[in-house]
Chain A
Amino acid sequence: AQSVTQLDSQVPVFEEAPVELRCNYSSSVSVYLFWYVQYPNQGLQLLLKYLSGSTLVESINGFEAEFNKSQTSFHLRKPSVHISDTAEYFCAVSSLYGGATNKLIFGTGTLLAVQP
């Protein structure tokens, strides 16, 4: 079974400051890792994913995440945030050996609150 822990329920940060949103996972098998973003009253949008290859993955809007197998982490970072980045961010895992399902297991989310 897999589980995902997002220790920070809310991260307040000032505009143009750097930010890191933490994600740790637990799994007895190899996993794929994802970050999704959810704006108020909307569904989830895929922000970035790690499936294989380079452990550092980047999104088109300046976010990046690094897969660290030894620490079972997949922290999300951005060097300079904007007001428009204010949203809920969810980390999720999917087992490589999930059989036919490939269902996603989500963390509880981190609210990134960017202040002017």
Chain B
Amino acid sequence: DTGVSQDPRHKITKRGQNVTFRCDPISEHNRLYWYRQTLGQGPEFLTYFQNEAQLEKSRLLSDRFSAERPKGSFSTLEIQRTEQGDSAMYLCASSRDKAYEQYFGPGTRLTVT
């Protein structure tokens, strides 16, 4: 396993700009999750993919957020018209089908100025 990778590791953007993050899961994992972690808090679930199908979205995922996993491999998370409240660490995790443990990437830290 090469592990879950995320790109970029850090992103600084100005309020109102759009940003896109990428996640590459462990190769044989067909489940992919996005979480958001703010300072002093645990990660909070945002959305889940099984292969290319997005099967659940949290109410935290406003209409400015969109996620895709076009071929069931890598995934992207886009935030449009960023706000200062979007500043957080965005974590991606993957798991095998019918396995409950998830493996996390290093995260993308977003700072909105």
Contacts and interface: CB of A to CB of B under 8 A. Distances in A.
A46 interface: yes
B28 interface: no
B14 to A, nearest CB: 23
Interface stretch (B69-77, B79-87, B99-107): B99-107
B42 A49 contact: no
B65 interface: no
A104 B48 contact: no
Contacts, number: 61
A92 B33 CA distance: 15
B48 A108 contact: no
A38 B111 CA distance: 20
Classify chain A's interface size: 20 to 34
B2 interface: no
Given A100-B56, A102-B95, A103-B33, A109 B41 contact: yes
A101 B55 contact: yes
Interface string A6-36: 0001000000000000000000000010101
Given A32-B100, A34-B101, A49-B101, A43 B106 contact: yes
Contacts of A102: 31, 95, 100
A101 B48 contact: yes
Classify chain B's interface size: 20 to 34
Interface of A: 4, 9, 32, 34, 36, 41-46, 49, 51, 90, 92, 94, 100-109
Given A107-B42, A108-B42, A43 B101 contact: no
Interface in B27-56: 31, 33, 35, 40-45, 48, 50, 55-56
Contacts of B91: 43-44
A105 B45 CA distance: 7
Kindly list the 7 A-B residue pairs having the minimum CB-CB distance in the complex, ordered from nearest: A106-B42, A43-B104, A44-B104, A103-B45, A43-B106, A32-B100, A101-B56
Contacts of B31: 102
